[in-house]
Structure 1
Amino acid sequence: MLSFTEDAFEQAVIEQFENMGYTHIYAPDMNRTDYSRPLLDDVLRDCLVRLNRNLPVMAIDEAILKLNDFDAGSLLQKNIVFMDYLQNGITVKYAVKGEERSSVVKLIDYADADKNDFYVVNQYTFVENGNNRRPDIILFINGLPLVLMELKSPSKDEVGAENAYNQIRNYMKDIPSMFYYNAICVISDLSTNKAGTITSGLDRFMEWKTKDGDYENTAYAQFDTFYEGMFQKARLLDILKNFILFSGDGQKLIKILAGYHQYFAVRKAIEKAKIATKTDGKGGVFWHTQGSGKSLSMVFYAHLLQEALDSPTIVVMTDRIDLDDQLYTQFARCAPFLRQTPVQATSKENLSKLLDGRKANGIIFTTMFKFERGEKPLSERRNIVVMADEAHRGQYGFDEKIVIKENEQGEKEAHTVIGNARIIHDALPNATYIGFTGTPISAKDRNTREVFGDYIDIYDMTQAVEDGATRPVYYESRVIKLHLDQNTLALIDATYDALEQQSDAATIEKRQKDVGADGKCVGSRVYHSIPVRRYCQPLRKVPR
């Protein structure tokens, strides 16, 4: 390891990308005249012309002009504009025979990775505001510097991933225009390889621990797992388009890159939904432990459903008003990414109005209690997906029961009680149902499986703690101090003395040995104020 210098490490990373089909360019060998340009201009133009053959040159020119001339604003605001261009294309206007037309210039062909140009460029010197900086590696796609990597020598104990993170933060101050076009930042020192965004703190840079969605060996991710798992061409394009978003209020926006567990789980859920909409409507159960970003996974899932199922209507259902508000707020903050504005049903009548007659699209939030039994379904469409949060709870039963209740006159009457799942399925009989939960479903919980089907993906507490996605939870027994009535204690003493006189010495000795190991605990937890003595083992269990 001592001979493994930073230069050797850089070459090893480059080799990883070459093996995945990237073209390597050593930047000092490039024919550059303007070191203040973050874009590879010739590559960018050629790629845009090739990817948008149906558009005239003037449309391409306007798109490039927009890429080079952002409106005034902060680095983050300019990056928000660029990410919209990257994910959705650039809207341009141009004239054909005096008639104004508009169209969208796409920067990347997301359907076919091979139609794009991928370059891994090292030692790319960039000059801005008198600052001369040279990031270790930049990944250019179609001439756009989308991924910036800072590497630190694995042979120096005092230099590591944290220093790489600080170096990137300094770059953002010294050469900010390079980061207008940045999608992902990487910090690496061989043993630690993590990815984040321009707003990520060091604690939010995360490892990518699997190449194919198998969680079998994720405790310690290998060097090649990170690069091959995240930067295979098609997967990188998928991440760029569908797994990076901005969230927050007007005061503070953060740029979020999905973790590996979110990426693979959502992709599995999408494939399951495609099948479920054509078969039994069971979209599965998505179990990701609390603190692992489950609500954002739901946003990524809703985003991808739009294309996967041809503009479905999504109903996000909870069993509590506060959860409904929390999820609605999260989705509302991500409205630009979702390309539509979520709505929240205010009543049963409003929910019925939002669903009745709707043919496509829409993200509707509701509590399950806004569904009511009716003679007519709210919609019989198949491209409706119901996303149920906290699906492990028992309110989703199909059962129909007869319950006897007393009326105001004291007379007993029979009432029919129908499980909420039955009511919801009667309202949306052809919908697909997927359950999201932060806790495991009991093996005895048949209702949840009847509604949603089996697990799609499991990301439990152990794995989340290993990944640093959530903090470990330690359970410590708590001593409960109980103060019993003194008269009762005296009665216990007298009773024990009487029983002792009726027992032989061997029985008494055995009893004392039995309680020797945990007498202290028993005395503290159960009796507290009772001395731990010969009757420490209670004759019968005292209720806590």
Structure 2
Amino acid sequence: MLFLARLVMKSSSFSSPTIVLITDRTDLDDQLSAQFTNSKGFIGDNEVVSVESRNDLRVKLQGRNSGGVFLTTIHKFTEDSKLLTDRDNVICISDEAHRSQVNLDQKIRITDKGVSKTFGFAKYLHDSLPNATYVGFTGTPIDATLDVFGDIVDSYTMTESVKDEITVRIVYEGRAAKVLLNNSKLKDIEDYYNQCAEEGSNDYQIESSKKAMAQLSTIIGDPDRLKALAEDFVKHYEQRFSEGATVAGKALFVSSSREIAYQLYQYILALRPDWGEVRAADPLAILSEKDQKEILPAAKIQMVMTRGKDDDKSLYQLLGNKAYRKELDRQFKNIKSNFKIAMVVDMWLTGFDVPFLDTIYIDKPIQRHNLIQTISRVNRKFGGKEKGLVVDYIGIKKQMNLALAQYNKVDSQNFEDIEQSVVVVRDHLDLLSRVFLKFDSSGYFEGSPMQQLSTLNMAAEFVQLTKDLEKRFMNLVKRMKAAYDICSGSEVITQEEKNQIHFYIAVRSIVYKLLKGEAPDTAQMNAKVRDMIQAAIESEGVEELFKLGDDKQKEVDIFDEDYLSKIDKIKLPHTKIKLLQKLLAKAIDEFKKVNRAKGVDFSKKMQVLVDKYNERKEADVLVSNVLEDFTDEIIDLYHQLRKEKDSFKDLGIDFEEKAFYDILKALAVKYDFTYPDDRLLTLAKEVKTVVDDKAKYTDWSKRDDIKAELKVDLIILLAENDYPPVDRDEVYKEIFEQAENFKKYKNSGSM
């Protein structure tokens, strides 16, 4: 919409048009208003206004011949039927052009007071702006959309969106047969869908549909079926959660009616009473001060739907009022909230975006554009989310194919089936077994906890023999894991296969920890592996592998001799080298926060060693003295850094003053001029004093006035001390960078 608004505003054909943006929900209006208000420069018009009423819009349009962007909801056009403007350079852009924006038909109501004739919102809109150009945006155009807005001008399919990495693929898992105790009832559901295939509005069709739906509700709401559904849902959800196959454990469960949803909700709580307990936040979440203010206590599973005056008292209280539902909306959209599972009927199925929502369970007959809107809740992109999962408890596979074929014509393979993920997992297990053909992993599957841990460590060592082998292994496991996240709840994957999967994931977790510092795959390891590591990890000295990079371990002194001796206990050469690399990298990063110049020098030296290790020859991978040389060189550089860190003591200055001394001396070498050492020491102290004085304000780095004063004071100080004796702007620039680097980390408490 923003791009279209920009194009038409800049088009000479429209002579600077007036744009009216129309939504059918207040929250969408607020969302668009924020986006357009923040994009005035991009659009090319400074007047972007949300109108409060139809009369407000009329006032704003009167006397206006061009320009202006006005946002409103479709419902405001029922306030009266007077003409707003007959100008032809008005462009109405409608969002969600498959709902209330297309109802032009007359409605007749017969009451005791006579016949009442009304029209839909769209009719009043078109009568108000008779010469306007109408443009509609929708992901699911229906026949009425084309009748009102004309032919499709441009389309962007779900397949294209996935290829562009705007959304993720949708995966289908059918579980209807697991909860329909009489599988012949699937035929009744299919008949209902067929009956609804041809949409119409005559009395016969409406009455026939009601009867079919009543029969269908009896099938869906059967108590024995709902008990089986509750058991399968709980098992499936917990399996995915325990495997770490879901980003945040958020799930939508779509029921066919409020009554059926409430029965199912009670059956679920009977199985898992703790899901109904109100808790402050996700027990696994680490809360910031802001989180503690925003996250409210909530139960894990909640029903989100409107309540009726005839509801049972307990149901009425459970559902709450509009304000309560709005708060539920906010809590579900908070990744750290304890509110994980939302049971819905009609709410939250359209225009409800939660990027980390990755699973939707459907137990409601849905078809066509409504089905596309519903399953699209799980295709939003989020870090760590590979795909969105649709779990079908009602038999919607055929309807999904029909709907996706209608709205996604560029690709015959509209969605990925769960079976495809199973195939991917097994293919990668086969490839990984070939990689490990010469490695004996039996100790992991048959040995004691100590033998299991030793096997994991040896396996991590094995895949690090060469850089190519390590890269191949890591990529294979990553792809296998992405597929397993989707099919982990399937009974098709055998326990033996799961054990193999967890073995490879556990090995990758160790190697990943060495490479990156945090191992997201740890959650994928089964309980046996986790317990084993906790029980035995300390014996081999590899507890440092799991501590390094952990925020909770910041108090560890990495320059302590005892710390280095712990790492020296590790007998696996490749693991030891990687851990020493991490140790040195962390030490250099900490040093660089104070002394930028020397820190950069050490970074370059370390990179030479890392490149040398990664480019080692195939013939050298098993030669022990080659690996020992690498280890010795890293340890030697580590000690050089440690010595440099304490070198300020010999000069009679402090650690921070030494940072400025080093930059001043390095610049003299770089730009080939001489400057006495004793004067360098004095100048370094004075530079630090100036920096301290100007940077005493916590927000100094954001204030251009203070930064400008700092630069002026430094230039004067350097000039007074005849530094540099040659006029080079680069000298001042590098000193300023060191000053900003120094104060940035000192003020943030990182030093």
Q: Which has the higher helix share?
A: 2
Fold similarity call, TM over 0.5: no
TM-score, normalisation: structure 2? 0.24
Q: Determine which structure has more spread, i.e. the larger CA radius of gyration.
A: 2
Larger RCO: Structure 1 or Structure 2 (Cα < 8 Å, ≥ 6 residues apart)? Answer: 1
From the two aligned structures, give the one with the greater strand fraction: 1
